[in-house]
Amino acid sequence: MGTLNAKARSQTQLAISSEGQDWVLLGASPDLRTQIEATPCLHPRGGTRQSPIAAVALVNADLDHVLGLLLLRELQPFRVYATASVERILREDNSMFAMLNRVADQVRWERLAPGQVSALGNVHGEEIGLCAEPVSLGTHFPQYVREKRRRESEPAEASLGLVLTDGEGRRVGFFPAVPSIDDALLQRLGGLDLLFFDGTFFDDDELVRTRGSGQTARQMGHVPVGGGDGSLQQLAGLRKPRKIFVHVNNTNPMLDEDSAEYRAVRTAGWEIAEDGCQFEL
Chain residues binding a copy of itself by CB under 8 A are 30-31, 33-34, 63, 67, 70-71, 73, 89, 93-99, 102, 142-146, 149
Q: Which is nearer to a copy of itself, 145 or 225 (CB)?
A: 145
Q: How far is the CB of 51 from a copy of itself (least distance, A)?
A: 16
Q: How far is the CB of 133 from a copy of itself (least distance, A)?
A: 28
Q: How far is the CB of 181 from a copy of itself (least distance, A)?
A: 28
Q: Which is nearer to a copy of itself, 207 or 217 (CB)?
A: 207
Q: Which is nearer to a copy of itself, 180 or 215 (CB)?
A: 215
Q: Closest by alpha carbon to 252, among 84, 76, 45, 4?
A: 4
Q: Which is nearer to a copy of itself, 207 or 265 (CB)?
A: 207
Instruction: Give phi and psi for 237, each to the nearest 5.
Output: -85, -5
Q: How far is the CB of 207 from a copy of itself (least distance, A)?
A: 12
Neighbouring residues of 92: CB distance < 8 A, sequence distance ≥ 6: 149
Q: Which is nearer to a copy of itself, 150 or 242 (CB)?
A: 150
Q: How far is the CB of 146 from a copy of itself (least distance, A)?
A: 5
Distance between CA atoms of residues 192 and 240, nearest Å = 7
Q: Which is nearer to a copy of itself, 1 or 184 (CB)?
A: 1
Distance, first Cα to last Cα, the chain: 42
Distance between CA atoms of residues 252 and 219, nearest Å = 16
- What is the CB neighbour count within 10 angstroms for residue 179? 17
Q: How far is the CB of 27 from a copy of itself (least distance, A)?
A: 15
Give the H or E element holding residue 55: strand 53-57
Q: Closest by alpha carbon to 261, among 269, 270, 253?
A: 253
The CA radius of gyration of the chain, in Å to the nearest whole number, is 19
Instruction: Give phi and psi for 158, each to the nearest 5.
Output: -70, -45
